[in-house]
């Protein structure tokens, strides 16, 4: 390729699948609707947002982007996603911070209900106790859940990430940062719902 050559921007959109890194200006399909990832604010900015354009209408949709801990919790074939219940630099910098379920919203536990250390909660018809989490900055940090019936303790590894969502056509799509969220227009990845 000749130095200084202009490379055409790819216009081919693909059905977005989970855990696929998406760069700014990339186009993708969700439920047969064409979107373009317009970019995201550095997470340290006040009122940081992430933007998506609906290509058919030209409408730009914005959603808040928040720095949180995030952890997947796999139980009985379903992956539940929990996040820290606090905003930047509050609870997740200490042990046993409060959490919230944010996907899928289970019939037994509403999303965004705050769950504190030693609280009981039910997902998938099973009662659990939240046994706390390590400060997210601690090496090897873990989060623990105990099945009340069996006594089994399940450990997960929380990570610090920029979380955001896109609500369109009665579906809430959840995204997380997969590159440095301390810079504008970081890469993102869809993590729920997965087809």
Map out the domains of the chain as residue ranges.
14-66+163-192, 68-160
At residue 27, φ and ψ (nearest 5 deg) are -105, 145
Look at residue 16 in the predicted model and tell me its pLDDT: 82
pLDDT value, residue 140: 92
Task: Give 75-106 pLDDT, tens digit per residue.
Answer: 888 889 999 986 544 567 788 899 998 888 76
Task: List, for residues 168-179, the tens digit of each pLDDT value.
Answer: 988 899 999 999
The C-alpha atoms of residue 124 and residue 10 are separated, in whole angstroms, by 42
Q: How many CB atoms lie within 10 A of CB 168?
A: 16
Distance of alpha carbon 26 from alpha carbon 38, whole angstroms: 8
Q: What is the mean pLDDT of the chain?
A: 86
Percentage of residues of the chain with pLDDT beyond 90: 57
Predicted pLDDT at 19: 84
186, pLDDT greater than 50: yes
Instruction: Give this prediction's pTM.
Output: 0.83
pLDDT band of 183, cuts 50, 70, 90: very high
CB 136 within 8 A of CB 89: no
- 91: alpha, beta or left, given left = phi > 0 and alpha = psi -120 to 50? alpha
C-alpha to C-alpha distance for 50 and 177, rounded to whole angstroms: 11
pLDDT number for residue 12: 61
Residue 11 pLDDT > 80: no
Q: How far is CA 83 from CA 24, 39, 64, in A?
A: 25, 22, 15
Q: Which residue has the higher pLDDT, 195 or 54?
A: 54
Instruction: Give the Cα separation of 150 and 64 in Å (integer).
Output: 39
pLDDT, tens digit, 9 for 90 and up, residues 138-151 = 999 999 999 999 99
User: What pLDDT, on a 0 to 100 scale, did the predictor assign at position 137?
Assistant: 87
């Amino acid at each position: 390729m000749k130095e200084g050559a202009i490379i055409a921007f790819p216009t081919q959109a693909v059905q977005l699948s989970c855990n696929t890194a998406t760069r700014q200006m990339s186009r993708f399909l969700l439920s047969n609707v064409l979107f373009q990832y317009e970019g995201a604010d550095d997470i340290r900015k006040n009122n940081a947002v992430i933007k998506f354009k609906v290509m058919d209408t030209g409408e730009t949709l914005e959603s808040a982007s928040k720095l949180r801990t995030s952890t997947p919790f796999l139980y009985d074939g379903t992956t539940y996603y929990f996040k820290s219940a606090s905003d930047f630099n509050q609870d997740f910098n200490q042990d046993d911070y409060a959490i919230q379920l944010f996907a899928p919203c289970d019939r037994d536990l509403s999303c965004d209900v705050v769950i504190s250390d030693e609280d009981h909660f039910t997902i998938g018809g099973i009662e659990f106790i939240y046994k706390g989490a390590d400060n997210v900055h601690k090496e090897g940090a873990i989060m623990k859940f105990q099945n009340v019936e069996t006594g089994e303790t399940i450990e997960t590894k929380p990570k610090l990430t920029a979380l955001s969502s896109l609500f369109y056509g009665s579906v809430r799509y959840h995204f997380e940062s997969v590159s440095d969220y301390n810079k504008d227009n970081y890469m993102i990845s869809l993590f729920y719902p997965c087809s």
